[in-house]
Amino acid sequence: MRILHVLLAVLFLMLQGAAGQHVFPRPDDPCAIQNGRCFPGICRRPYYWVGTCINGLSCCRRYVEV
């Protein structure tokens, strides 16, 4: 019975792939997921650099004081 569940799960994943859907959708903007903003050039205060945006700009995030 357990093998039936595994086969159904594999079938479901194959059908999703055939339909062109992603099992784990990627976010469109990874900078926004890190609570950042895209700026041209370098990050200035009160922001610090956390990565690069899709369009090549700097992904900057605001300092959080605790």
CA torsion through residues 37, 39, 45, 51, sign: positive
Asked whether the beta carbons of 36 and 64 are under 8 A apart, the reply is: no
Residue type at 39? F
23 Cβ contact partners less than 8 Å away, ≥ 6 residues apart: 13, 16, 17
- Higher-confidence residue of 24 and 42: namely 42
Band of the pLDDT at 57, cuts 50, 70, 90?
Answer: very high
> For the whole prediction, is pTM greater than 0.95?
no
- In the block, residue with structure tokens 């990627």: 26
Question: Which of 35, 15, 19 is closest to 27 using CA atoms?
Answer: 35
